[in-house]
Structure 1
Amino acid sequence: MSATTAAAARPAVTALSEQAAAAAVTAACRTLALPTVRSQAHEMAQAAARDRLTHSAYLAEVLIAECDDRDARRRLRRVKEAKFPRTKRLEDFDATAIADLPPATLAHLATGAWIDAGEPLVLLGDSGTGKTHLLIALGTAAAEQGRRVRYVTTAALVNELAEAAADHQLSRVVGRYARIDLLCLDEVGYVHLDPQGAELLFQIITEREERASIACASNAPFSEWGATFTDPRLAAAVVDRLTFNAHIINTGTTSYRLRTTRAKKGAAPS
Structure 2
Amino acid sequence: MPTTRRRGLTEQAATAAIDQACRALRLPTIRAQFPDIAETAGRDQMSYRGFLAELRMAECDDRVRRRSERRIKAAAFPREKSLRGFDFDENLNVDPAVIHTLATCEWVKKGLPLCLIGDSGTGKSHLLIALGTEAAMAGFRVKYTWPPSWSTNSSRPPTTSCSPRRSPVTAASTFSTSTNSDTWSSTAAAPNSSSRC
Shorter chain as denominator, the TM-score bin is 0.7 to 0.9
* Alignment: residue pair count: 170
Which whole-Å deviations, capped at 9, do the CAs of 1:142-176 have from their partners, x for residues lacking one?
11222111111122x22xx5xxxxxxxxxxxxxxx
Which whole-Å deviations, capped at 9, do the CAs of 1:173-216 have from their partners, x for residues lacking one?
xxxxxxxxxxxxxxxxxxxxxxxx124967x33868x9410010
Which stretches of structure 1, 4 residues or more, deviate above 3 A after TM superposition?
199-202
Which whole-Å deviations, capped at 9, do the CAs of 1:80-131 have from their partners, x for residues lacking one?
11111011111121335243x4233112101111111111000111222211
Alpha carbons of 1:16 and 1:121: their partners in 2 closer, same or farther (altered >3 Å)? same
State the distance in 2 between where 1:106 and 1:112 align. Answer: 10
TM-score w.r.t. the length of structure 2 is: 0.77
Q: Superposed, which structure 2 residues align to 1:168-179 within 5 Å?
A: none
1:87 aligns with 2:42: no
Contact 2:108 2:171 in 1 (8 A): no
1:28 aligns with 2:14: no
Task: In structure 2, give the amino acid aligned to 1:205.
Answer: T
Tell me the SS of whatever aligns to 2:128.
Answer: helix
Task: In structure 1, give the amino acid aligned to 2:153.
Answer: A
In the alignment, what sits opposite 1:126? 119
In the alignment, what sits opposite 2:174? 214
State the distance in 1 between where 2:86 and 2:43 align. Answer: 46
TM-score w.r.t. the length of structure 1 is: 0.57
| Aligned-residue offset at 1:45 | 1.0
Task: In structure 1, give the amino acid aligned to 2:177.
Answer: A
State the distance in 2 between where 1:130 and 1:69 align. Answer: 32
| Aligned-residue offset at 1:12 | 5.6
In the alignment, what sits opposite 1:198? 153
Tell me the SS of whatever aligns to 1:151.
Answer: strand
| Aligned-residue offset at 1:18 | 1.0
Which structure's CA Rg is the greater one?
1
Percent of counterpart pairs with the same letter?
46
In the alignment, what sits opposite 1:54? 47
| Aligned-residue offset at 1:75 | 1.3
Q: Comparing both structures, which one devotes a greater share of its residues to helix?
A: 1
State the distance in 2 between where 1:207 and 1:59 align. Answer: 40
Gaps of 5+ in 2: 163-169, 181-197
Tell me the SS of whatever aligns to 2:116.
Answer: strand
Alpha carbons of 1:127 and 1:198: their partners in 2 closer, same or farther (altered >3 Å)? farther
In the alignment, what sits opposite 1:154? 147
State the distance in 2 between where 1:90 and 1:47 align. Answer: 36
State the distance in 2 between where 1:91 and 1:43 align. Answer: 32
State the distance in 1 between where 2:28 and 2:68 align. Answer: 17
Gaps of 5+ in 1: 1-10, 162-196, 221-270
Task: In structure 2, give the amino acid aligned to 1:87.
Answer: E
1:40 aligns with 2:44: no
| RMSD, aligned α-carbons | 2.5
Alpha carbons of 1:206 and 1:150: their partners in 2 closer, same or farther (altered >3 Å)? closer
